[in-house]
Amino acid sequence: MRFKKITIIILLLVMISACKTTKVLNESMNSSLSSKKVIKNHYTNTFDKETVKAKLKVKYTGKSSLPSITASLRIKKDETIWISLTKLGFPIGKVLITPNRVSFYEKINRTYFDGDFTLISNLLGTELDFEKVQNLLFGQALLNLKKEAFILTSNKNNYLLKPKVANSLYDILFLINPLNFKINSQQIKQLDENNTLIINYPNYTTIDHEIFPKEIYIKASDKKNTSTIVVNYKSVEFNKPVSFPFAIPKNYEKIELK
């Protein structure tokens, strides 16, 4: 069962540190910017290509660790996310995500899931939907920063945004890159359950005039366990034709939510 759970987590998280704040902005940053301007600049740099084709390396570490897995990623923006996973050259599973549905199957235990975003949300300890998963892959904020007021400070040469009014359910913060205004780190902590999701973007690259992550570090923890996923983009192409072949094999066991 443990290996089965790890496989499921990898299939889902591939699609998916506490920070000490200071009150004075770093001199190398633009101290005249307001929180609204930083947020506006972040959305000005929103990913605007139509499709993505990428090769990934994925490494999982938790109670047990698995060798690196290779993945093919295809995205049609706002419509479909498709992932095919292989290990040592052998296919081990596929994921298909649309705005209303999450489907995947894995060959090791011959299981599949076909439903909504509840399973992903439960595994990560925070509510997710298609837009949030897509934003995770693009280096964008998971939450809509335009919906509330933020306090702007700095942290390690980043703009740091925290809500002006504390939320009784969640503690959130965002570190914004001062050069490209993409997300360097985002943290969402579910206070009542003590679930924490941290997503870091150590490096970005520019491809066809688009700023895109080179690496994504994901850490999901609860009261008992901590799991990390490191996703490395090995190659990325934009606006290429994409297809999404997907069919759940016969005689696979369906994963039921409890």
Residue 16 lies in a domain: no
Give me the number of domains the chain comprises: 1
CA dist 136 and 46 (Å) reads: 12
CA dist 62 and 221 (Å) reads: 10
Residue 54 lies in a domain: yes
Secondary element (H or E) of residue 178: none
How large is the average pLDDT for residues 151-177?
Answer: 89
| Share above pLDDT 90 across residues of the chain, in percent, rounded to a whole number | 60
CATH code for the domain of 87: 2.50.20.10
CA dist 70 and 222 (Å) reads: 27
pLDDT in tens, 191-250: 777 788 999 999 999 999 999 999 999 998 887 888 888 999 999 999 999 999 999 999
In the chain, what's the furthest Cα-to-Cα distance? Answer: 62
Residue 144 lies in a domain: yes
| Share above pLDDT 70 across residues of the chain, in percent, rounded to a whole number | 84
Residue 64 lies in a domain: yes
Residue 250 lies in a domain: no
Residue 192 lies in a domain: yes
Residue 166 lies in a domain: yes
CA-based R_g, the chain, Å: 18
Strands (E), the chain: 51-61, 69-76, 80-87, 90-98, 101-106, 111-115, 150-155, 158-163, 170-176, 183-190, 195-200, 204-207, 210-213, 215-221, 226-238, 253-254
pTM, entire model: 0.83
How large is the average pLDDT for residues 149-160?
Answer: 91
pLDDT in tens, 56-108: 999 888 766 666 789 999 999 999 999 999 988 889 999 999 999 999 999 98
In single-letter form, the type of residue at position 124 comes to: L
Residue 15 lies in a domain: no
Question: 74 lies in which domain range?
Answer: 33-234
For residue 186, the number of C-alpha atoms closer than 13 Å in the C-beta half-sphere is 22
